[in-house]
Structures are given as C-alpha cells and as structure tokens.
Structure 1
Amino acid sequence: MDDATNPLPVVALTLGDPAGIGPEIVARTLVDPGLPGIVRCVAVGDAAALRRGARACGFDLTVRAIDSRETPPDPDPAVVDILDTATVTDEDIADAMPWGRVGAPAGAAALAAIRLAVRAAETGMVDAIATAPINKESIWAAGTEQLGHTELLGELTGAAHPDTMFVVGGLKIFFTTRHASLRKALDLITPERVDAAILAAYDALRVFGDDDAPMLAVAAVNPHGGEGGAFGDEEIEILAPAVERARARGLDVVGPIPADAVFHQGLRGRYAGVLSHFHDQGHIAAKTFDFDGTISVTVGLPILRTSVDHGTAFDIAGMGVAEYASMREAVRGAARLVRYLPKARDCWAVR
C-alpha cells in the first residue's frame, strides 16, 4: 500500500511516437487493474495524443495534467495523470500526426516527452522511466542525429557509455555490438570491445542484483564454439583471452560457451548474465523464451529507464488492437528495479 512511510515508486511512461501504438499501449497500461498497489504511473507526452490513443482503445479517460509527485492520485480509475508537453492540440493532432506516418511533428513530440521524462527523473519527480517505442526516421526528421533512445538518454544525462541490458526469466542479457549489420558486427568483435563489454556487463550485474560476485557467461560466436578453430577462431583469438583477463581481475566470468546452450543454461539459473555479441544473438534467445515478458533496461545511466522490446507498429496504429503486455512488464520491471537506483547513481554518476 502507498503511505507516507512506504510510498509507491512513481514511473513515468513516455508516449513514444504519437503516430504509432505508443499512446494506445500507455493508455491500456494506465488503467491496468494489476498495477495500483505496486506502482504509480504518470504518462509523459502530449495530452492530446494520450486522449486519442485512449479513444482508439474504446476508453473514456480524463487526462489530468500534473506538475508534482505530491499531487495525490485521483480515486477515479478513469482519471489518469500526465506531464503534458503540449506540442499539439486535440484539434490539430489528426493533421499534424496522422496514424502510421513518419513525420517531423511526431518525432518532435517524442523527443519532447523523452526530455521532460529525463528532467523529471533527475529531479526526483519520478523514480524511473518506462518508454514506449519511437520511430528513428521521425526523430531524425525532427532534428536529432542520435540513433535512438539509448543514445538520446546518454546525451541528455551526460552518461558516457549507456548500453542495453535485457531482463527475461531472471536472466540478464548484454551485447558486445547492437545496431550493426552481422558482417560489420563480426569485425567489431575486437579484444578491446569485448573487454569493455565484459566489464560493463559485470558492473550492471552488481548494480541490478544482490550478489557482489555474480557469474557472467560469455557466449561463443561460431557454431559449437568454433570447434577448436575449425568453424572460426574468434573464440581462440578474442573471446577466451578476454575471459581470462576478466578472471585475472577477480571477476567470475566463464566461457566462451556455445550460443545454442548458454542462454538455456542461464535461464535455468546457472549464470546471472550472458554476454551476447550481436543484436539478434541475444534478442532471439530472449524473445523466443518470453516475447512480452522481456524488458530492456538502459545501463550506464544515473537514472533508471526500462522499455518495451518492440517497435511503433505503424501498420496497426490507431486500430486499438495493439498488445500492451510488454509496456506493462516494462513498468513492473521499473518498479522492481527502483530499489537499486542508489547503486546505479553511485556506479554511473556523471563526473
């Protein structure tokens, strides 16, 4: 229960791209009956976009703008709170941000919501951020050169090396490379990059866990872990030496372990985390096990941010049929991880 001595964590839900499914999945999450008593949710973005998203879902919601966490929640579940960026009006939204369309106004609205949410997290108005998906073409059209949420959050907080951690089934999954073609990713798997990825992943395991010596498994790149060099030598030349260097530093790191086994073993509890080496290696493992239950956490930040693990789904935006389970789980995950926020601030304070 929320009381003066044990207040609920406050999580800000950004609306994402207003032309995508973000406003719909946020609206559904705000009225989810399983969240009160666990977390207080506050939307961030255009009130007009949230109202439109709610209407698409068949909800008759009252959207109340607030400017303080001290404002008590309305007892009426049909009243939802928002930090309103007010970039568009109800009268203009259909023309300025049509459903399912790339556009600078939608990108600018998404950026405004992210900036406001970060300020709210930095000042303590909210405890964490859970982000709905944005469209890269739209935010680029609005003027940013950043690739996406992770890079934007690094820029806004001053964090030097923000990165992605997936949480699924109790396992944490990390990435040596992310948004690169497979051909390029293999070239990016260098001793220096793997060393840095291991250290970053280990820091994150310590921050977002209760074990000071968690076990991190390093996945192999090649089939059967390279089969002694017959199927590739990355394991011999790069990965195994990196594991040995990490162990020499006193870190409990093992591997390289064939990728067709390491995620299964991790999900069975053998490891606290797995370092994967390219985007789909980790994504496929997590999403096949639990697509809706996989949440993304941005590590390396002095604030807490979780996210859905899907995109804007322009093809179904505005239809009211978007599944919101991933957004709900991002909020639940943020609420669970809030207790580790002091450790995150200590580890990743901007100096």
Structure 2
Amino acid sequence: MDNKYKAKLGISIGDINGIGPEVVIKTLSDQRILNFCTPVIYASASLLNKVRKALSAEHFNYQQVDHADALVPRKVNLISVWQEDIELTPGNPTPASGKASLASLMAASADLKAGKLDGLVTAPIDKDNIQAEEFRFPGHTEFLTSYFDAADSLMLLVSGALRVATVTGHMPLKEVANRLTPELIIRKITILLESLRQDFGILKPRIAVLGLNPHAGEKGLLGTEEIEIIRPAIMQLKDRGHLVFGPYPADGYFGMRQYHQVDAVLSMYHDQGLIPFKTLAFENGVNYTAGLPVVRTSPDHGTAYDIAGKHIADETSFREALFLACDIIKKRTMEQMPVV
C-alpha cells in the first residue's frame, strides 16, 4: 500500500430505525473523509435518500456501484443489498429493519472476507431484532469472531490513550465468575498485548488487570477469584517478561485515574470496563475487535432508539471509529512491508 492508497472501508448500516443511518450520513457529509479512505456503504439508495432529505444533508453524495470490484476512488460508494422500499419507523425496530441490518452486515462481511475491502465499520444493530438463522450471536463481536474463523477475540474500547478491554463480553453477570479461568485471562491478555504492538505501535505494552470482586477480594474476605484465578494468570505472564500488573480494585483504580500509567486496562466483565470508559469518553469512544485477522471498529453506542428520527445524534464516535480503522489498517500494512 503506497502513501496515495486510500483504505476501502465497508460500512454496515445497522438497524435502520436507529441512529446508524444518521451518523453515517453526517460523518460522510464531510468530503475531507475521502482524503483518508474510500467508504463503501451497504444499504439501499432509497434509505440513503430518505435520511439525506430528512437531515437536509446537501453535502452528502454517493456513487452507486454494483459490487466491490467497481468502487470509485474519492467517492462515497453504495452497494445496494436490498431493493424494496422499507418503511422507516424511527425508534421502533421492525422485522424489516432487522432483516435489512443483517443483509448489510452479511454483504459487507463477505466482501471483507474475500479481500475486496480493507476493513469494516459497523453501525449499531439491535441485538434481538437481528436474530435469524444466520445470526445466533449476542453481538457483532461474537459473530465476526466466528465468521472470520478466529480462535478468539477481545472487545477493546479505545479513546486516544485510554484503552479498556474485557475478559468476558455479552453474557449474564451471574455467569462471569464461573467462566473465568487462568487460561482464559492469559489468552485475552495475549491478544491484547499483540494488538497493542501490531495495531497501536506500542513496543512494550503495560497492562493493568482489574479484580473481579469489591476491593479485589480483600485478600479472600470478599471472594477468592483474585487469589485462585487472576493473580496466577498475571504471574505467569510476568514470568514470560510481560509488563502486566494487578489485580486492582476497579473503583479505586479508575477513581484515582491510574489508567494514565498504563497502555490498557483489562476488566473482568462488560460493565466493569464499559461504565468507566463511557463515563470518561462516551462521545468519542470506539469499540475495536482485537484478535481478528481483519480490522473492525464501531462507535461505542447503541441504536439510541430514544433519539432516532430527531436528527440530534452526535456522529463523533462513528467518525472516530472510521479514523481508527484507517490508522490500524495503515499500521498493519506497514508492519507487513519488507525492510529495504
């Protein structure tokens, strides 16, 4: 990839009755985006025209193409994945909107797998409404891990130098403790270490690991997972020469802003990591799936049905997701270039 090459980024539209189409169009209305990538939206002309008109987005234009082999550089490209005129009911998911979100995701993923795209940026789906024979997963992360035959993956939330990952993802809280093992934690930290090196250019990453229980178990008084599971995993990685520290009490760690001292923080479960992350960086945070053979990012928010159709959605997180995908693609490409 030379310096003039612009990454081809697939964009799945998400649930069309959420804010996905709005933040996509608002982001791509800024023509300067085309200096960094060639965006490829997987949706329909009817949908884009409706949303563009509702937003009065006169600066948003696109080029419709039949397939990913015919992309037009320096243009926003559209590949139509459904032809029917689907009624929009902002804030209210429908079977049709769930079907459309799945069609968009599957088409973009297929082109990415075929090497016709360099990366994928996913707008928010409704995790219940998208369920179908081809999609029996709790979210994008699990689907893409399976679709791209990855041994494992890691949900990594990113905002500048703030990076927060989770050992367990979309699962009931009552199942977390039983799922944790030293092997699982070592596997997740290994993915995180490799991603920090490969995707973020950090040669010797420093990782802080949070405990599971209040006060990190208080030496076994409030739980033994830190003693029996988390600490042994950390010690094994330290013995291998990695800079991994903890386990730390989650509340105090974020309260004292100790995350500034490391390159990433590993939480034990979804809300333990995402609540502080979104408190600190909700507007510009990005969800990155580490561990995949491909690059996938998304905004750190959901469908936001409560504001869908009101034209007040903030596109910053989606724009940051697009830029992070470009940055990671560039770093991975440079990593693969032969040294002259």
| C-alpha contact (below 8 Å) 1:14/1:132 kept by paired residues | yes
How many matched pairs? 333
Query: What CA distance in whole angstroms lies between the structure 2 residues aligned with 1:283 and 1:273?
Result: 13
The aligned counterpart of 2:38 is 40
Task: State which of 311, 314, 318 in structure 1 corresponds to 2:309.
Answer: 318
Question: Do residues 72 (structure 1) and 73 (structure 2) align?
Answer: yes
Displacement after TM superposition at 1:130 (Å): 0.9
* Alpha-carbon offset, residue 15 of structure 1: 0.9
Are the structure 2 counterparts of residues 11 and 261 from structure 1 closer, same or farther at C-alpha, using a change threshold of 3 Å?
farther
Q: Which runs of 5+ in 2 are unaligned?
A: none
Q: Which amino acid aligns with 1:59?
A: A
- Cross-structure match for 1:19: 17
How far apart are the structure 2 equivalents of 1:243 and 1:146?
30
SS class of match (2:309): coil
> TM-score normalised to the size of structure 2?
0.88
Query: CA–CA distance in 2 between the matches of 1:147 and 1:82?
Result: 28
Structure 1 residue 190: Cα displacement: 2.7
Deviations 1:28-62 (A, max 9, x none): 11112552423332222222222222222122444
C-alpha distance in structure 2 between counterparts of 1:126 and 1:6, whole Å: 16
The one of 179, 188, 199 aligned to 1:208: 199
Could you tell me which residue of structure 1 aligns to residue 86 of structure 2?
Answer: 93
Task: Report the counterpart of residue 235 of structure 2 in structure 1.
Answer: 244
- Deviation track 1:122-144 (CA, whole Å, cap 9, x = no partner) reads 34433211110011222115752
1:84 maps to what in 2?
80
Q: 1:49 to 1:155 in 2, by over 3 A?
A: farther
Q: Aligned partners of 2:62, 2:330: CA distance in 1, in Å?
A: 29
Q: Structure 1 residues 344 and 6 mapped into 2: Cα distance closer, same or farther (>3 Å)?
A: closer
Match of 1:128 among 119, 122, 133: 119
Distance 1:34 1:304 in 2: 22
The superposition leaves residues 230-270 of structure 1 with CA deviations (integer Å, 9 ceiling, x where unpaired) of 333222222111111111223221111222344465542x2
Name the SS of the counterpart of 1:120 in structure 2.
Answer: helix
- Deviation track 1:134-173 (CA, whole Å, cap 9, x = no partner) reads 1122211575212221122123222232331111231322
Deviates more, 1:280-289 or 1:191-200: 191-200
User: 163-172 vs 129-138, which deviates more?
Assistant: 163-172
Task: Specify the alignment match of 1:119 in structure 2.
Answer: 110
Aligned-partner Cα distance in 2 for 1:208–1:265: 24
Distance 1:151 1:343, change over 3 A: farther
Q: 2: CA distance between counterparts of 1:143 and 1:198? A: 30
Which whole-Å deviations, capped at 9, do the CAs of 1:154-209 have from their partners, x for residues lacking one?
23222232331111231322111122232222332233322322222222222223
| 8 A contact 2:6–2:37 mirrored in 1 | yes
Q: Which amino acid aligns with 2:57?
A: F
Identity of aligned residues (%): 34
Distance 1:221 1:312 in 2: 29
CA contact (8 A) 1:46 1:109 kept: no
Unmatched 5+ residue regions in structure 1? 75-79, 346-351
Q: Deviations over 1:96-123 (max 9, x none)?
A: x533333332222212211222233234
Amino acid at match of 2:305: F
Aligned residue number for residue 140 of structure 2: 149
Q: Deviation per CA, 1:73-110, whole angstroms, max 9, x where unpaired?
A: 35xxxxx421221x143xx311xx53333333222221
TM-score if structure 1 supplies the norm length?
Answer: 0.86
Deviation at residue 277 of structure 1 after TM alignment: 0.4
CA distance 1:70–1:26, shift in 2 (3 Å): closer
CA contact (8 A) 1:308 1:327 kept: yes
Cα distance in structure 2, aligned partners of 1:52 and 1:238: 53
Asked if structure 2 preserves the Cα contact closer than 8 Å seen for 1:178 and 1:279, the reply is yes
Calculate the aligned-residue CA RMSD, in Å: 2.6
Distance across 1 between alignment mates of 2:105 and 2:162: 27
